């Protein structure tokens, strides 16, 4: 058994009862094996999309988490693709993210000059996120300004689990041109930078983040 999370974007005209009926049919597939179960269902309701999907600028979001055998996913996804009122969906392995759009923060705060626990990683890790590098310049947000020659980290609580649904946090690491800030600018660890790239890609696919700022709606 593995833990999965699925984000649904339904047509905004659907009400909660209709969505629940669809979810019950979908989830019957993944919960069929012994010990498989749906552990959480979170209705976000109708939200503005970062860009249009199927000529709609709003979508009804639902996040669900479940445990099932990987073999059940093919039938589950086949069923989802057949539903014409499901505008988009994404199924991923759950890494402990809450169903809400929040990341999990540490209780303690990082301070300037904190050691980078991934300093042993090659500097080439700066290039791992879609080749979306940019030079340090005055356009960088002030919270990332660390100067050259001294390793500094963003002040504030450490992010223990970066949630790809956490638009507020992800937006801090994306430029006005839609590029992900490089590690040499943000001073985050290489491990965090890799996770950041994956999270931003998922958020863009789910229309939680635009591909470029001020995206035409």
Which pTM value belongs to this model?
A: 0.78
Lowest model confidence (mean pLDDT) among 13-17, 140-144, 177-181, 204-208: 140-144
User: Average per-residue pLDDT in the chain?
Assistant: 81
pLDDT score of 111 more than 80: no
DSSP the chain: -EEEEEEEEE-TT--HHHHHHHHHHHHHHHT-STT-EEEEEEEEEEEEEEEEETTEEEEEEEEEEEEE-GGGHHHHHHHHHH-TTEEEEEEEE--S--SSS-PEEEEEEE-TT---TTTTS-GGGGGTTTT------TTS-GGG---SSS----SEEEEEE--TT-HHHHHTTB-TTSPBPPHHHH---HHHHHHHHHHHHHHHHTTSS-SSTT---
Residues, the chain, total? 217
pLDDT at 76: 96
Report residue 73's pLDDT band, with 50, 70 and 90 as the boundaries.
very high
pLDDT score of 51 more than 90: yes
pLDDT score of 155 more than 80: no
Per-residue pLDDT, averaged over 24-32, amounts to 93
């Amino acid at each position: 058994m593995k833990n999965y999370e699925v984000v649904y974007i339904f047509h905004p005209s659907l009400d909660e009862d209709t969505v629940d009926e669809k979810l019950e049919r979908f989830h019957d597939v993944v919960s069929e094996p012994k010990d498989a179960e749906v552990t959480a269902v979170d209705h976000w309701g109708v939200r503005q999309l970062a860009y249009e999907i199927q000529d709609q600028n709003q979508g009804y979001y639902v996040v669900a988490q479940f445990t099932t055998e990987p073999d059940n996913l093919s039938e589950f996804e086949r069923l989802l693709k057949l539903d014409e009122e499901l505008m988009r969906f994404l199924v991923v392995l759950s890494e402990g993210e809450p169903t809400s759009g929040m990341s999990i923060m540490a209780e303690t705060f990082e301070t300037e000059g904190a050691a980078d626990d991934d300093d042993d990683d090659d500097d080439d890790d700066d290039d791992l996120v879609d080749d979306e590098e940019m030079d340090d310049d005055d356009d960088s947000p002030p919270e990332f300004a660390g100067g050259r020659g001294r390793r500094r980290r963003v002040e504030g609580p450490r992010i223990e689990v970066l949630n790809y649904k956490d638009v507020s946090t992800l937006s801090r690491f994306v430029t006005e041109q839609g590029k992900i800030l490089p590690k040499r600018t943000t001073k985050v660890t290489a491990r965090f930078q890799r996770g950041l790239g994956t999270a931003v890609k998922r958020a863009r696919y789910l229309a939680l983040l635009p591909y470029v700022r001020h995206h035409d709606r």
